[in-house]
Structure formats: structure tokens, C-alpha cells
Amino acid sequence: MLGTQIKVPTKGSEIQEIAGVGPLYRRLHDTLRARISSGHYPVGLLLPTEAALCEEFNLSRYTVREALRQLTVLGLIARRQGSGSQVVSDVTPVVFTQSMRSLSELFQYAFETRFDIRTVRRAAPAKVLADLGGIDRAIPWLLFDGVRRDRLSDRPLAHARVLVHAEFARLEAEFRSTEGPFYGVIERHAGRKVADVAQSITAGPMAPRTAKLLGESADATAVQVLRRYLDRDAAVLLVSINDHPANQFRYEMHLRREG
Amino acid sequence: MLGTQIKVPTKGSEIQEIAGVGPLYRRLHDTLRARISSGHYPVGLLLPTEAALCEEFNLSRYTVREALRQLTVLGLIARRQGSGSQVVSDVTPVVFTQSMRSLSELFQYAFETRFDIRTVRRAAPAKVLADLGGIDRAIPWLLFDGVRRDRLSDRPLAHARVLVHAEFARLEAEFRSTEGPFYGVIERHAGRKVADVAQSITAGPMAPRTAKLLGESADATAVQVLRRYLDRDAAVLLVSINDHPANQFRYEMHLRREG
DNA sequence: CAGTGAGATTTGTCTGGACAAGTTTTGACA
DNA sequence: TGTCAAAACTTGTCCAGACAAATCTCACTG
């Protein structure tokens, strides 16, 4: 196949327990992902075959395939019929790199950063926002304005604004104190689920106020990541706007063959 | 469920043939996607249930679910256990919006645009490129430099550079004349398959030469989309660099709950 | 009319299986 | 040693089924 390619040895005869809670395929995905990150399955080499994984973890082929599919979507492995599943990347985080592909990654991102809230006020959404749809300008939304910082280093990452729909204004205290994502507050306290996040990335001159907040020069460039959190009726529950300094921002993702 | 929600009526008693070639699930996905685009399944309403689709198209539930999963990944529908599959978007193209999620979408994009090649020469890749990995600077790559234009309006969209690995330099004529993506030339004429595209988006000041090419002012901002096309051994087959005027560029995608 | 619980409905998870398609390995032969 | 075909291996497609979990509907009660 790949010249000197050697298949990573597996303990095929030992049944591995799958730790954690939630669907089996996700837990297997987590296990395999951890093994990739730790170098147990080195980049460039093959994962165990589906059959071997079925045996090792005593799971059906469907479950194994679903776990592998998720690793594929994440860009960690590439699968080839007749060949096997090759590790093409391990999750090596770059400086500040965004690569959101799913809601759960947004969830994780919120925990890795801190929203330093500076002001909270009622505000009508800008017209440009309303034109995106699902946003009623007639009622004032709750606007949180501040700086999103790296949780470890406290370095400013972005000028962050979050507009929360007025029906959740009563949750202001919870928004202020949450360590996780705002949408999590809505889901926990208001019983509204986020079904979809529409994300848009644009670039342009950085606003003077943003430059001042982030310690950037007056002629800096900003990359704006705008996210609308939609519920199942496509109603917008909240909007987040993050302006990042362009010189510290890159957005990466892997494109895959479909399927 | 959704208040006055009405399920779209289906002809459950008529078996529909699935047109096209390729896997059944993809063809069903194409059929359903066309129905969504045409308004047959309006945004906000429900698709037929899995069971109804199985009956209508005489397919297994697995096949139907796979087709629906793909629609979900595309952001066209949202699925809810116990509820059904709701159309949340139809494919309404915005101005110039990039939203590449897979290789096949890159394929389509190449057909919707035209690469106006200005110069072709041998060049060593920039160090910054080589540092991304998989790129051998010791040998000169074939550099195509030009403008990517909208195929219909001929409007300039981006300053485009494509670096092709030296082993494909013999295909220069094919690259010049292809209507499709460069990677398609490699796949057809050199038997090398693209397994992965690593994409990175950054923003910054636009280079003077790019500004001149695109008719932009000297202080314009550029959004750079850099793509490395990797084969299954993670060797870089080609690199494309597109510098877009920031004021005409947005990158959109939908983030989903995993699964 | 509003609230509650049971039953029906719908999607999600997971098992087993079969066959197809693509890749790799092996063995035979020149 | 190189080439080619067959066999073995591995993933892809697709079927059938069962049970769980979430949602919706309907009937009953206060």
C-alpha cells in the first residue's frame, strides 16, 4: 500500500471498556481521538481495521464506523476502501486558531476563553443584523460588550459583543456568572435548544473602539466572526460578534470528500 | 410540536424512482435537495418522515437516514428525535460567499469561476508555505498567477496563485485549458487522488500588486484563503492562494450539533 | 380552559448480515 | 528480477431488525 507502511499493532485479543457517558460511538470516537493525540496512533500510520476495533471494543461494525466517520469529519483520519484508516493529523493546536465545525466545539471554545464583560445594556440590534433575518428590532435586546480573553494567559483575543433576545433578559445574572457559553445558559434555564449556528466571517478595518480595547493600532485590520444561534424554528436566540485582530487570527478547516 | 406546523403531504403510496448514478443515498439526497430548492418542501416545514421516505422510494431506513444526514451536514434540514426533519434553509446563494465544506464543493466552485491565468513560471515556494509542511522548497514548483473571475459576469473575485508540484509540470497545457479545478487535472492525468484539503483563512493588508490586479485601492484589505491539496500520504500536490478584497468577501457556514 | 398522563409517533442508537468495490498481498511464471 | 492474476483483506453500500429516547397528540380530570 504505502511503501514501508506498517500497521499499528493492536491488542486484538483484549476487550477494551469504553469509558464515559453518552452514545457508544461518541465514546469510541473520544477514545480513538485521545490515542491519536497521544501519538499512540502516529500521523501517517494506520488505525486498526474496523474488524479489529469491533473485536477490541466488542462493538458492532455500525458503531465503529460511526466513530471513524466522526474522526474523518474532524480531519484526523482519511479512510480508503480496501486500504484502511490513516491518521492524517493529530489535534495539535496552533496559536489562536479557530476551526469551529460543530456546536460542541463552540461549547469547548467558551471554556477555553473568558468573556470579560465590560458593559451590559438594552440595545436595539443594528439594522445590518436584523437584515440577516430572525431578529426583531422593535424590542431591545440585552447587549453584553467586552473582551474575550484566553483563559490561561488572559491575553485579549477579541472584542466580543453578545446580543441576547429580550425574552432571556431575566437571566442576566446567569449570563454574567457563567463559565461556559451563553447559549448554554439559555438551554439550561429557559429550556430553549440551539439547533443551528449560522456563522459568517468577514474582514475590514478595525473600529477605533475595538482597537483601543485590544491594544491595537488605529489602522489595524479586524476579522469579524458573527454567529447567530437559532432554535428549531429558526428564531434567533442570541447573536455573538467577535472582532479579532487580523494579525493574530486564522481560521482553519479540512475539506473532505463527501461521505 | 410547532404550533400550527403542518406536515407536507407526500404521495406515500407511489414508489418514486431515484434518478442518476452513484450510491442510492446520494441520489436520494440530490432528489430531496432539489425538492427543497424548488420549494416543494418549504423552509420551516417538515420533510416526510423516514418511514414515509422509505416507502415512497422503496429504500432501507439506513439509506434514507444517510441521505438525511447529508442534508443535515449541508445545513438544509434540522432533525429532531420524536419530531421529524425540518427544512431550515434552502440553497439561496448570496453575492460572493464562500462556504466550502467538502472537496466536491471545491469542485463546483471551480466551475462557477474562471481562472484568468496571466503568468506561468517555475518558482520556489515561499518559506512560509514550506513551513506548513509537505512542501519541498528544493525543487521549483510551477506557479500559475492570475485572476479568478466570476464565470457569468467576468467580475474579478480574487488574485489567484496556484503552485503545482514539479512532478506535474508536464501537465501545463492541461492546467491552462481545464475548465474545472486544477486538482482534477492531477487526478485525471497523473492518477494521484486528493484525499484532504487543508484550508486556512487569514486577513491583512492587500499587496500593491494584488490591489492593482483587482482594481482596489492601495489601502484595501485582503482576505487570503490558502488551500493545500494533500494526497493520502499527506504529500502536497498543489497549493492555491486566493486573495479576495475583504469588502466583497464573507465566509459562511453552519455549525451543527455533532452526530 | 388548563394541566396531566398515557399512548402513538418519530428519530437515535445499536446489532447482525450480505454483497460490492477497491487495495494489498501472494504465488506462479517468464 | 519483473509481471500478472488470483486470493485475501478492508472499507463502502445497503438491507433487516430491535429497543431507547424524545416529541406530539389525545383523552381525561379539575
What pLDDT digit, counting tens, does each position of A96-121 carry? 345 555 555 566 566 567 788 888 88
Question: Residue A28: phi, psi to the nearest 5?
Answer: -65, -40
**Residue A59 pLDDT class (50, 70, 90 cuts):** very high
**Residue B66 pLDDT class (50, 70, 90 cuts):** very high
- pLDDT given at position B101: 55
List the single residue in B with minimal CA-CA distance to A94. Answer: B132
B50: Cβ under 7 Å from strand C?
yes
| Contact state of A252 with B75 under an 8 Å Cβ cutoff | no
Q: Which of residues 62-121 of B touch A (CB under 8 A)?
A: 70, 75, 78, 80, 83, 86, 88, 100-106
Helix (H) or strand (E) holding A214: helix A208-214
User: Of all residues in chain A, what percent carry a pLDDT higher than 70?
Assistant: 74
Q: What is the three-class DSSP state of A143?
A: strand
Lay out the sheet containing B236-245: strands in order across.
Answer: A97-98, A250-255, B196-205, B221-230, B236-245, B156-164, B141-150, B113-123
- pLDDT given at position A48: 93
Tallying the residues shown for chain B, one arrives at 259
- pLDDT given at position A256: 58
The strand ranges marked E within chain B are 77-80, 84-87, 97-98, 113-123, 141-150, 156-164, 196-205, 221-230, 236-245, 250-255
- pLDDT given at position B138: 65
* B207, pLDDT greater than 80: yes
- CA-to-CA dists, residue A22 to A26, A64, A109, B219, B259, angstroms: 7, 15, 20, 52, 12
- pLDDT given at position A8: 38
* A65, pLDDT greater than 90: yes
The answer to whether ipTM exceeds 0.90 is no
Tell me which nucleotides of strand D come within 7 A of a protein CB. 8-17, 20-25
What pLDDT digit, counting tens, does each position of A189-208 carry? 777 777 777 778 888 888 88
Q: Which residue has the higher pLDDT, B93 or B118?
A: B118
- pLDDT given at position A53: 94
* A238, pLDDT greater than 90: no
Q: Tell me what the mean pLDDT of segment B94-109 comes to.
A: 51
